[in-house]
Amino acid sequence: MSSGHESLKQMRFRIPSQLQAFTFSLYNKSVTFFSLSPFRFLKRLLSKTLRLLSASFRMDTADDDVWSFISAPPSPEPLFLVPLRWWSEANAALYGSSGGENKGVLYNVTSCLSQKKLDKDDFLSEIVLDMMRVGERGTGQEEGVSGSDTGTGDLSLALISEWMFLRAFKWHNDMKDVGSFLEPADIVQDLLSLQIRLSFSCNTNSLMIRINQKDNKLRDFDRACTIFCAESGLLEIWDFSGQTNQFFMDDRKLFGDCGQPHEEMILELQVYGVAVASETKREKMMTDQFRIEASPISGSMNTNGDVDDVLFSRFNHSPPLYGSYNNACALGLTGLYNLGNTCFMNSALQCLAHTTELVNYFLGDFRKDLNSENPLGMNGKLALAFGELLRKLWAPGATTVAPRNFKSVIAGFAPQFGGYSQHDSQEFLAFLLDGLHEDLNRVKCKPYIEVKDGEGCSDEEVADEHWRNHVFRNDSIIVDLCQGQYRSTVVCPVCKKWSTTFDPFMYLSLPLPSAPMRTMTLTILSTDGTTLPVPVTVTVPRDGTLEDLVQALSVACSLRDDETLLIAEVSDNHIIGYLEKPSDKIDRIRDWGHFVAYRVLKDSQGSHFVVFTHLHENKSEFVGLYSGKKVGVPLLSRMSNFSEGSEIRKEFLKLLNPILKPVVEIESSNGHDHKQPDTDPDPDPDAKAESILDEAADLDSESESAALGCDFQFYLGSYLCKDYKIEMDKPVPISTLTFDKVVSVVVSWPEKMVNDYDTSLLNVLPKVRETPPFSSKSQESVSLYECLDAFLKEEPLGPEDMWYCPSCKIHKQASKKLDLWRLPEILVIHLKRFSYNRFSKNKLETFVDFPIDDFDISNYMVHKNSQVSHRYMLYAISNHLGCMGSGHYTAFIRHGQSRWYEFDDSNVFHVSEKQIKKSSAYVLFYRRISDTVHNIVQ
């Protein structure tokens, strides 16, 4: 029972013919609808549950099939009335001259406008259409059937289902080739939503349609008058949906049980693109009133459906498209809301939602292929949810869609996608395509197929046999479009025995060949206070060692013979580890990490490394610990004298010498001199630093104590703890917090010292490898063909993948080679950007130079078919931006012939073709193009 209308039962019945289905809403409180016994039983059963609102029925089912429809998901299919010529053009282009399976039933329609007086001041205006069934013909294109709605005096219309309308609308829009942009006002003007009352007349053997002013808005009713009240009074309506024919089945018993042949049903009808009659025609009809007495209106009126379910309910709220298309509706350029870390899903969905062949399939009658018996699928639920989502994305004037229902359904197939964690778009894509295949597998019962021995047969014979066996068990739109076949050859390294198999693939996962050299940037710091921190960029072998890196850095920074480099990793302004073994591989050094190299003297007997970590102290204090914020890059020095804390201070001041601000002396009003920062850009920093050090050395204990309130404070360890505070006149207990001759000291910076030193020089610490945020091409670049070469090259199997050689009778570490044998219509290429080793997980930012208009794989095919093209055109890209675990997914989509758009969740932007080539490209979608088309383009 509909919420808010407890006295009114709203029931949706699906009454399909042999080909299509028709869903309508019936408002009646106590009417028995069908005389067939299964439906009487089903009606009584459903009346006890809330399923009464959305149950799906089939009139041609047997009793045993009734239960299967109790759990079937609702599938409302609104009806659309369009010009016959408009529909015939699209139908012929989509299905050929035969028109496919869309056979039409012709109705001659007589229309009139009547009025009935309800009271002295109120009249009920009503359009009455009397539909006389003429008979069944083909697609409305045979001789004697008018395909024009102009010039003959009669209006020829077509009644079609929603999926028929969407496919035809998309075809007409594609034919215009104007960027798929439609003005919102034009869409609203061309589309009219009407509430109609349908009844069956046993006396005249016709259907009666009543459109009254009470059920509709005044402007909609007025427009309906101009459409249906033709001057001749005669219309032609061809029913290609197969719905109205149901009312003439079973000897006109559809309404027989109720005993009231004129019982009315309220339906929602969408009228699109129908030319209106002139005002004179309408005025003529208005003069002929009261010709037909209107039937009593039973029940009450309510608009069908919910705002989220009505396809065209928001035409006047079209989504803004950034750039120069702010006020345009773009067919197919519809964003998806991010439900919480669902950018990976949105990116993959947009790529599939712009795969033309897949879109046409799901905008069509894909339900005929639903496989509810496949235990590997979702009983068709995933395909239904995906089809519903595609229809929302391609609805004219559609706004941003929230894919909540789809996300819930996909989680039932792959539970890992049920939460709100970030996932991989390629992994999601693999699960989705597999789930759609199983839901749409045309093979209801997979046969057992024994694999035959291919010994002595040619590769062509074996490959064709394997493919036939595969299709015998797997036959779906996904297989038709996305699956290819490769040949796998394994060779024994000892006896050279080889074995060949042919396996299907859904996509190609291509490795990114590593460049032989790697560019790295580290920051060089002195340990004697002689130079500023300097970033140095060097090039080393990608598979090199720490020794190679140190050697390159030594040359770059002109290292002295008595010096060496100590490399450390810095994170959150403190050292988290050191690299000391010369044989360590540099692949442990991550591109996004921050590494420094300290110039230290070679082995100094009895000395310790002292690491100074900077901290801006806060005034708050708790249980002996001072709070503060670590800043800047840590400084390092070698020390052997820890007799007094003042030695720590003196060493630290020496390290700060390069960043000391210049000072000048000015005379105050009381005659005393004061030091202030000098604005002269060319002072002598060495002389000023020397004077400060001399001044510090000459301070007596009294003056030193007075100065400590605004001086640096030093603490052993990692925190500002009173128990580990270093006193200036006492020895430093280095044994307390010393590890492997490394003494950690935290330095608290008072505000005065922050002003005296240029601390910004300590805050610049570049990454090992910076990637420009808007650069389309990094220093490291490979072509897509090189990736394909790496994928197809022969390589030895790993120790965990040993192959049993039938000749040697033992497992061998054989070599394996892949070859492309059969290519799909849609070629999906996954670039393996994420690498893993025992030390780290890394993302490869390698720029892949991929072809856009002509990806020619002819030279990579070991089996060439002259009838099939091996050229492809790029039409979609799933991008991954950022690093692992904290990245973001977007999509680039080719829309139309050469226009590209970026889909960033709910936002859609126009981009140029030059902008789509980025190092963030992750999954590439290619469509096969014929050699003829390629030659024309050339």
Exposed, middle or buried by CB within 10 Å (0-12, 13-18, 19+), for 405? middle
Exposed, middle or buried by CB within 10 Å (0-12, 13-18, 19+), for 721? middle
- The DSSP letter of residue 183 is -
CA dihedral 822, 826, 829, 830 (to 10 degrees): -120
| Calpha distance 912→901 (Å, rounded) | 8
**CB neighbour burial string for 363-378, b if at least 16 within 10 angstroms, e if fewer:** bbbbbebbbeebeebb
- Choose, from 225, 229, 329, 343, the residue flagged as catalytic: 343
For the chain, what is the radius of gyration of the CA atoms?
A: 39
For residue 857, count other CB atoms closer than 10 A to its CB.
18
**CB neighbour burial string for 898-921, b if at least 16 within 10 angstroms, e if fewer:** eebbbbbbbebbbeeeeebbbbbb
| Calpha distance 780→919 (Å, rounded) | 10
Alpha-carbon distances, residue 76 vs 301, 303, 311, 410 (angstroms)? 19, 15, 11, 21
Strand locations in 57-103 (E): 79-83
User: Which amino acid appears at position 869 of this protein?
Assistant: S
| Calpha distance 457→561 (Å, rounded) | 70
Cβ neighbours of residue 679 closer than 8 Å, sequence gap 6 or more: 662, 664
* Pairing between β-strand 826-832 and β-strand 608-622 as defined by DSSP bridges: unpaired
248, 261 contact by CB (below 8 A): no
Alpha-carbon distances, residue 848 vs 224, 467, 786, 793 (angstroms)? 57, 32, 9, 18
- Choose, from 470, 608, 863, 888, the residue flagged as catalytic: 888
| Closest to 72 (Cα-Cα) out of 61, 56, 49, 51 | 56
652, 635 contact by CB (below 8 A): yes
Q: Distance between terminal CA atoms of the chain?
A: 62
| Calpha distance 317→337 (Å, rounded) | 16
3-state secondary structure of 170: helix
888 tagged catalytic:
yes
Output the DSSP codes for 25-62: EEE-SS-----SHHHHHHHHHHTTSGGGGT----TT--
> To which H or E segment does residue 789 belong?
helix 784-792
**CB neighbour burial string for 773-804, b if at least 16 within 10 angstroms, e if fewer:** eeeeebbbebebbbbbebbbeeeeeeeeeebe
Q: What does the block give as tokens for 279?
A: 């005002």
893, 354 contact by CB (below 8 A): yes
Alpha-carbon distances, residue 231 vs 113, 133, 293, 294, 459 (angstroms)? 12, 21, 21, 21, 71
Q: What does the block give as tokens for 225?
A: 């008058």
3-state helix, strand, coil in the chain (%, to 5): 30, 30, 40
Phi, psi of 705 (to 5 degrees): -65, -35
3-state secondary structure of 724: helix
* Pairing between β-strand 329-330 and β-strand 563-571 as defined by DSSP bridges: unpaired
The position carrying tokens 């064709």 is: 464
> To which H or E segment does residue 222 belong?
helix 218-228
HEC string for 378-433: CCCHHHHHHHHHHHHHCCCCCCCECCHHHHHHHHHHCHHHCCCCCCCHHHHHHHHH
Q: What residues are annotated to the active site?
A: 343, 888
